[in-house]
Amino acid sequence: MKKFSHRQKLFMILAVALVAVLLQYVFKQALAAQILVTIVGAGIALSMLIEMIHTLKNGRYGVDLLAIIAVVSTLSVGEYWAAMVILVMLVGGDALEDYASRKANSELKALLDNSPQSAHRLINEQIEDVHVDQVKVGDTIIVKPGELVPIDGEIIKGNTQVNESSLTGESKPIDKQVGDQVMSGSLNGDQAIVIKAVKLARDSQYQKLVALVKEAENTPAHFVRLADRYAVPFTAAALVIGGIAWIISKDPSRFAQVMVVASPCPLILAAPVAIVSGMSRASRSGIIIKTGSVLEKMAHPKTMAFDKTGTITSGQLTVDHLEPAEGVDIKELLHFAASAEEQSPHILARSTVAYAQEHQIPLSSASELKEVVGNGISAIVDGRQVKVGKLLFADPDTTHKPLSQTAIYVSVDDQYWGCVIFQDQIRPEAPRTMEQLRQLGVKHLVMLTGDQKAIAQHVAKLVGIHEVKADLLPEQKIAALKNVPEDRRPVVMVGDGVNDAPALATADVGIAMGAHGSTAASESADLVIVKDDLNRVAIAVTISQETMRIAQQAVLIGIGICTTLMLIAAFGIIPAFIGAMLQEVIDTVSILWALKARHGISGIDD
């Protein structure tokens, strides 16, 4: 059987209403009009009853009962026009929910609309256009000026500027050259480039974000189920008020009048509209929330745990300072270290070379370059044997002790010359984020890291975290999260690396710093920060708190107005037809209030 949309159902009911009006007022066939409306109304009430039975199987109850009772009771006492108004407004309310959800969800769908669909594959010097799903790892792809990068790849020819704002929130174009990585979904500049595919389409960065959006759209919100449960006491109250009015007045139409204004629509519509609106608002701020239940948990987190590297820090090691051995010139130390490291792709080598260039230290070409995996590099620089790497590699007979900080050690002609010490830059927004989280009610801030305890404690002190657990393996992070006592939950874990993925999945809410982090972390997380900004964690909490507050307000406003009108209707003051009209005004007020969650009240989004 074809399933009609709410909009189609609304048009059908309006058509029946028009025919009934013509029958009663043009052709003077009031009985025919009543029979038509009664048959249609009974049929729709029956379909609602069937739907209610399905919701009972899913653990939801009470939301449709009042609507069914209102339709049946008005038809039973001959108030068939009131029944028709109820049907029009109920189905119209569902259509309004569909519209509000589509409107509120527009930002989430923007990722889907912009998803790369095709690629220019180069085979035997010939270009063929293929769907991105046909691209294999290792294929050569041409990306023309102004086109979206179709797949994650490595530039093998050409230089360009790439706009990654849809992925990272960074509006400034980034220079890219041969050897650099480009992400699917980023926008190529005014130069064509040739890339080698390094991932399949389904594994590419953009498709991971698209998958998160689809999951966010298809997963029901836990709070909506909680809102449904408001219907149980509300339904009981409505039946009691209506029953007393009937008994006292001995008039069954009095019961129908009460039922007409006892609408469950504020419960059915307000909460999901607010939830979807809040998720839409979050997406505009570079925050993808997978489910509505995550919003509920994020509204009241008691403990927040953070990884260090790449989360509280930038994850990019830079040279802090050099410590030359006695009698060694610091510039000479940097010259030999950077010259030996110039051809190495290692992050510490790149940082050392960049530091030398910043300080205008001239470099020499290295020869006889040898890399000893896991230890370091040896090379001939200016005719001298230079070793750079671990302490025992650079100086096997050393009497020095390894530093607690990240460092590389340098020897020249088997003589220890000193070391280059690195530091991981703390995100500038990290201290402010921790303070904001405390103001938002987070009682416990914890650092869980695999780094050394001394380094972790130093970083934690700088950003305002007082509880540190260091030297942790991934399974130890999981144990730490599982051991958080109930009175300190919900517990939220924030991380970015592959090793954080199990911890993100274990926490009540896992947050992935997904702008430059691993897709494994994003897949395991409940919430992904797309923009490279730790402060978005505090923004996510604020949006969640405001969304849940607005959702509850919308539901309670509707219930409050309904209850007042029920008490008035119990005295026979509100005719059933007028009550049906007023009842839908309540629904509109509740939905409009719920839509406030799309923009919030704090103005913190940007």
Question: Which residues are known to be catalytic?
Answer: 307
Q: Which two tokens stand for residue 208?
A: 């991971």
Rounded to whole angstroms, the Cα distance separating 241 from 237 reads 6
Specify the length of the chain in residues: 606
- In this structure, the number of other CB atoms found within 10 A of the CB of residue 169 comes to 16
Rounded to whole angstroms, the Cα distance separating 336 from 412 reads 8
User: Which whole-number Å values give the CA distances from 483 to 32, 304, 476, 489, in the listed order?
Assistant: 70, 14, 10, 11
Rounded to whole angstroms, the Cα distance separating 80 from 76 reads 8
Per the CB < 8 A criterion, the answer to whether 570 and 241 are in contact is yes
Per the CB < 8 A criterion, the answer to whether 69 and 52 are in contact is no
Which DSSP string corresponds to 99-161? HHHHHHTHHHHHHHHT---EEEEEETTEEEEEEGGG--TT-EEEE-TTPBP-S-EEEEE--EE
| Residues linked to residue 367 through DSSP beta bridges, in sequence order | 380
Strand-pair category, 313-324 with 193-197: unpaired
Nearest-5° Cα angle at 80, 75 to 82: 105
The identity of residue 344, as a single letter, is S
DSSP structure class, residue 311: I
Rounded to whole angstroms, the Cα distance separating 108 from 528 reads 13
Per the CB < 8 A criterion, the answer to whether 70 and 58 are in contact is no
Rounded to whole angstroms, the Cα distance separating 376 from 373 reads 7
| Residues linked to residue 569 through DSSP beta bridges, in sequence order | none
Helix (H) or strand (E) holding 552: helix 536-569
Rounded to 5 degrees, φ, ψ at 110 are -60, -35
Letter string b/e over residues 418-442, b meaning 16 or more CB atoms within 10 A of that residue's CB: bbbebbbebbebbeebbebbeebeb
Nearest-5° Cα angle at 301, 443 to 548: 130
